[in-house]
Amino acid sequence: MSETATISASDILCNLKAVVADLECQQKQQILKQLQQQLAQEQQLQKRQLQQQERSNKAPVQPSMFLMVPIEDTQNHESDKLSHSSRDHRNCSDKASTHGHNGNTRKAHEKKNHGDDSALELKGSKSRELRAGILYTGCGCLHRDGLQDDCPRSECQGQPECLVKPWPVCPPGIRCRSRHPESFGVPPNPNARSY
């Protein structure tokens, strides 16, 4: 048969107090372990930061990009001024002006010196045009012999001069033909009188 034992309330209270004390002790131990882990991680981070600072102090800082800055040599420059005559400087300025876009300034300078009135004066390369990210370097009318419907150049924009056959007479076409007469023929002179 079964025996029934009576448990006193004081025994229950003592057992409950012991269980609660044991649980509180376990919780405190877990909190202490977490704090110790956090402290260890913080100490490791501080050590790494100190090591990085020491490395950066030891090694010189190199820039990520090197710039080349031209510096004029003043010693040679003063002696060059004394040795060159005004004629040499004029020749240098002529040479500098001949390095224009595609040599156009040199051609214009030569034509001015020769006194050729019928020659066109070329003032830089006006035939280059950037539209919608595309660089147009010549007249599309000229290369297609006027057989197209329109030209993408802003100076043309479908003018009737673009469609003249065999050679268009729009401004970019005339400039291109004047630059390359051996390929496209001599452009008509707009100032010429017809009798």
pLDDT value at position 73? 61
Give the pLDDT mean for 111-115.
49
Is the model's pLDDT at 35 over the cut of 90? yes
Is the model's pLDDT at 113 over the cut of 60? no
Give the pLDDT mean for 110-118.
47
Q: What percent of the chain has pLDDT over 90?
A: 17
Q: Which two tokens stand for residue 49?
A: 């930061």
Q: Which two tokens stand for residue 58?
A: 């030891």
pLDDT value at position 7? 78
Alpha carbon distance 186, 167 (integer Å):
10
pLDDT value at position 74? 61
Alpha carbon distance 73, 177 (integer Å):
45
pLDDT value at position 58? 72
pLDDT tens for each residue of 39-95: 999 999 999 999 988 887 776 666 566 556 666 666 554 555 555 444 444 444 444
pLDDT tens for each residue of 147-158: 555 666 666 666
Give the pLDDT mean for 134-142.
66
pLDDT value at position 121? 43
Lowest mean pLDDT among 6-10, 82-86, 128-132: 82-86
**Residues with Cβ within 8 Å of residue 173, at least 6 apart in sequence:** 139, 141, 142, 161, 162, 167, 187
Give the pLDDT mean for 6-32.
90
> How is residue 163 annotated by DSSP?
G
Alpha carbon distance 180, 45 (integer Å):
72
